[in-house]
Amino acid sequence: MRLGIIGLPQSGKTTIFNALTRGNQPLTTSGGRIDIHTGVVDVPDPRVDRLSEMFKPKKTIRAKVTYADIAGLEGSKAAISGQLLNQLTQMDGLLHVVRCFEDASVPHPSGTINPARDIASMDAELLINDLITVERKLERLAEERKKGNGRERGLIERETVLFERFKEALSAEKPLREVEISAEEEKVLAGFGFLTRKPMLVLLNLAEGQPAPDLQYGGAGCGLAALQGKLEMDLAQLPPEEVETFMQEYGIQELGLNRVISLSYDLLGLMSFFTVGADEVRAWTLRRDATAFEAAGAIHTDLQKGFIRAEVVRYDELLALGGLNEAKAKGRLRLEGKEYVVQDGEIVHIRFNI
């Protein structure tokens, strides 16, 4: 699960990257190079802490999100080069950092601070890149249809209808994430990394104490959040006990970066299920509406191959009852088959035989 951090020059992408990953990448420009820094982050989840307290395992493993700080945008507009585009298409989602802070020593490339303008500029550039890809695909399909000695004609026609639909949406400035796609059409798109189909979290980068501007950004697969980037980066470099003291002193209930990490996880349509025991308590990542059979595969392919049944109990029931043995004695540990749809936070153990 990878989220690419994008934004205009001087928007504070690397500051946000350092805050999210507790990293210390230098806050300098790449000079036109495509530099990529990645960091793997634990998804904050108090349920994992509670389960660890209950089972006292040898190790505790949390769900992960990988952030990639992708440098390379030049000028006042979001000009996406071929090399940069290649990196962006490989991401599962995008985190667009938008500058809201004033800093005379770091002038905005456009001369003024205008978050709404910058959001629109980036959205337009992503849309244009997708439109170019769609038009090129339609040209290839037309050539293929004209030659008539390649794939089945019906398949070519179905693909043409799909990409014409995409062209119509993009020409109307509608991102592809808002276009309904069937399961069959999804297979056709497997090799495409359309940027406006990717989930997008717009992150307003604020100065310390600055209120977030009144902006709206929504729609399918979209989100909006605000973060005091420089403050959060500074806090991320401190030892945990100092951070806790600081939060108590200023009445801060939750670090903004924890909220952004959780939003990132949700944005991708993901959830967590848990396996528990004396050896390990672990959060596993699964897409929403996935089955027990898919959950088995997320743990190990052998469990999926030899799947018999899934033992399932809800997180809140397990906590209330005090353990797996108690849940089993009370009839709360259910046996479910391959098609059972796993719910967020459930404890799932797989019975298998190979």
Nearest to 97 by CA among 152, 17, 207: 17
Q: What is the 3 state secondary structure string of 94-110?
A: EEEEEECCCCCCCCCCC
pLDDT value of position 72:
53
What letter represents residue 183's amino acid? A
What is the number of other CB atoms lying within 10 angstroms of the CB of residue 194?
21
Tell me the C-alpha distance between 249 and 211, whole Å: 20
Structural tokens at position 351: 């019975």
The single residue listed with the structure tokens 């004695």 is: 329
Residues with pLDDT less than 50, the chain: 75-77
Structural tokens at position 224: 């909006």
The single residue listed with the structure tokens 């020409």 is: 171
* Domain boundaries of the chain, sorted by first residue: 2-111+198-267, 124-196, 289-352
pLDDT value of position 201:
93
Nearest to 129 by CA among 186, 191, 192: 192
Alpha-carbon torsion 84, 89, 93, 98, what sign? positive
DSSP assigned state of 79: B
The two domains 2-111+198-267 and 124-196 share their CATH topology (first three levels equal): no
Q: State pLDDT tens for residues 106-155.
A: 888 888 999 999 999 999 999 999 999 999 999 999 988 888 767 788 88
pLDDT value of position 337:
96
The predicted model scores a pTM of 0.85
Domain 289-352 CATH class label: alpha beta
Radius of gyration of the chain (CA): 23
Contact by Cβ (8 Å): 123, 215: no
Tell me the C-alpha distance between 233 and 17, whole Å: 8
Tell me the C-alpha distance between 338 and 90, whole Å: 30
Tell me the C-alpha distance between 44 and 16, whole Å: 17
**Fold of the domain built from segment(s) 124-196:** DNA polymerase; domain 1 (1.10.150)
Q: What is the CATH number of domain 2-111+198-267?
A: 3.40.50.300
What is the number of other CB atoms lying within 10 angstroms of the CB of residue 100?
25
